């Protein structure tokens, strides 16, 4: 994905590309002329009974996405009214629908920090790391096991990954962890299998820790590695986060498994999963998860990412 080209529209030779750029350019101009923030636009659309996220509006005006689904096209008509532009003027700039479906999509890597709300604090930490290996590694599978302590705090996360090198020399994995509530203690990153700890960069005020996990040796092209590490929290007592676990994928993963383990004596009242594609936040899917009497539940998803996969839970007050 990355950024979209910026330049003089008159220098674009591809007519289809020019038509594709016309919509976000016109939308940005209309938003500027209206003097409304994206939050205010969302509020006014909500007052009309329409739910469009600020992220979706941002993607529309940047050109990263455009409205194509029936509900989005309906919202666009109301958006024209909210912005005070001629009815149909923005819709007319969309052109023919783009191909959809898995066969037509080839997900590209997005920046490591693109999916993080606190990316301004994350970027300096990443700048201290060697991230050259990251896009050379195909994510074959990932398995996360999240343990919640009896005091409802975060106990640990055990991570197991199967990776394949697409180029000679890939030698490390970059781990990013956000404590969700700045001020909570930062965890320890503990290598367990086929890796050792390299450089570590921390921002306690932002609640961020970035670590290099170095493989036992550089991989040859086509070689695979099974690596494991643990994110170990300080405790007891264990600090409580925001009662959610979010895995961010900048590249697709063939299969992803997340296990949740709660104290059997204090089961959550609800637990659900949310799968959100990076290029279409409004296409997020949600599913309830059943926690058994032993405090365990899990979710399995195939072909996930780029985007986020979140598990949320909570207790009755």
The CATH number of residue 67's host domain is 1.10.260
Asked whether residue 125 falls in the same domain as residue 37, the answer is: no
Indicate whether 85 belongs to any domain: yes
d(CA 279, CA 69): 13
Tens digit of pLDDT for each residue in 229-260?
Answer: 999 999 899 999 999 999 999 999 999 999 99
Q: Annotate 66-130 with DSSP letters as a single string.
A: ---SHHHHHHHHHHHHHHTPPTTTTGGGS-SPPP-SGGG-------TTTT-TTHHHHHHHHTTS-
Asked whether residue 83 falls in the same domain as residue 153, the answer is: no
Asked whether residue 188 falls in the same domain as residue 224, the answer is: yes
Tens digit of pLDDT for each residue in 135-158?
Answer: 899 999 999 999 999 999 999 999
The beta strands (E) that lie in 180-284 are given as 188-193, 195-203, 208-215, 224-232, 244-249, 253-261, 270-277
Indicate whether 113 belongs to any domain: no
Q: Mean pLDDT across the stretch 75-98?
A: 79
Asked whether residue 271 falls in the same domain as residue 221, the answer is: yes
Asked whether residue 204 falls in the same domain as residue 65, the answer is: no
Q: Which of 98, 133, 165 is the last residue of a domain?
A: 98
Angle between helices 38-47 and 15-34 (to 10 degrees): 80
Tens digit of pLDDT for each residue in 208-237?
Answer: 999 999 999 999 999 999 999 999 999 899
Domain extent, residue 210, equals 119-314
Asked whether residue 124 falls in the same domain as residue 244, the answer is: yes
CATH number, domain of 154, equals 2.60.40
Number of domains in the chain: 2
d(CA 168, CA 88): 52
- Whether the Cβ atoms of residue 258 and residue 247 lie closer than 8 Å to each other: yes
- Whether the Cβ atoms of residue 152 and residue 315 lie closer than 8 Å to each other: yes
Q: Look at residue 39 and give its three-state secondary structure.
A: helix
Asked whether residue 142 falls in the same domain as residue 178, the answer is: yes
Asked whether residue 158 falls in the same domain as residue 50, the answer is: no
Q: Please state which of the ranges 17-31, 172-186, 191-205, 278-292 shows the lowest mean pLDDT.
A: 17-31
For tokens 């570590």, what's the residue? 200
* Its pTM surpasses 0.85: no
Asked whether residue 19 falls in the same domain as residue 147, the answer is: no
Asked whether residue 131 falls in the same domain as residue 78, the answer is: no
pLDDT of residue 98: 55
pLDDT at 282 over 90: no
Indicate whether 205 belongs to any domain: yes
Q: Which of 98, 127, 156 is the last residue of a domain?
A: 98
d(CA 50, CA 261): 37
Asked whether residue 41 falls in the same domain as residue 167, the answer is: no
Q: Look at residue 21 and give its three-state secondary structure.
A: helix
Q: Which of 49, 64, 98 is the last residue of a domain?
A: 98
């Amino acid at each position: 994905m990355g950024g979209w080209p910026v330049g003089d529209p008159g220098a674009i030779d591809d007519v289809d590309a020019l038509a594709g750029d016309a919509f976000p350019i016109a939308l940005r101009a209309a938003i500027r002329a209206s003097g409304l923030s994206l939050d205010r636009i969302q509020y006014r659309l909500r007052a009309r009974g329409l739910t469009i996220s600020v992220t979706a509006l941002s993607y529309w005006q940047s050109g990263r996405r455009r409205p194509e689904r029936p509900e989005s096209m309906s919202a666009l008509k109301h958006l024209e009214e909210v912005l005070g532009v001629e009815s149909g003027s923005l819709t007319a700039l969309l052109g023919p629908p783009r191909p959809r479906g898995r066969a037509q999509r080839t997900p590209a890597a997005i920046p490591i920090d693109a999916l993080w709300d606190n990316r301004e604090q994350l970027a300096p930490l990443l700048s201290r790391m060697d991230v050259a290996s990251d896009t050379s590694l195909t994510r074959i599978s990932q398995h996360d096991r999240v343990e919640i302590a009896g005091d409802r705090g975060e106990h640990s996360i055990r991570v197991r990954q199967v990776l394949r090198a697409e180029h000679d020399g890939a030698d490390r994995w970059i781990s990013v962890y956000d404590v969700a509530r700045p001020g909570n203690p930062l965890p320890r990153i503990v290598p367990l299998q086929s890796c050792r700890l390299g450089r570590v960069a921390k921002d306690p005020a932002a609640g961020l820790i970035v670590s290099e996990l170095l493989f036992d040796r550089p991989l040859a092209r086509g070689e695979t590695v099974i690596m494991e590490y643990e994110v170990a929290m300080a405790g007891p007592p264990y600090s409580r986060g925001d009662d959610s676990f979010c895995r961010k994928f900048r590249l697709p993963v063939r299969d992803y498994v997340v296990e949740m383990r709660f104290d059997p004596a204090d089961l959550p009242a609800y637990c659900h999963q949310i799968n959100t594609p990076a290029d279409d936040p409004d296409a997020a899917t949600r599913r309830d998860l059943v926690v058994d009497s032993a405090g365990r539940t899990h979710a399995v998803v195939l072909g996930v990412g780029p985007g986020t996969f979140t598990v949320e839970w909570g207790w009755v007050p």
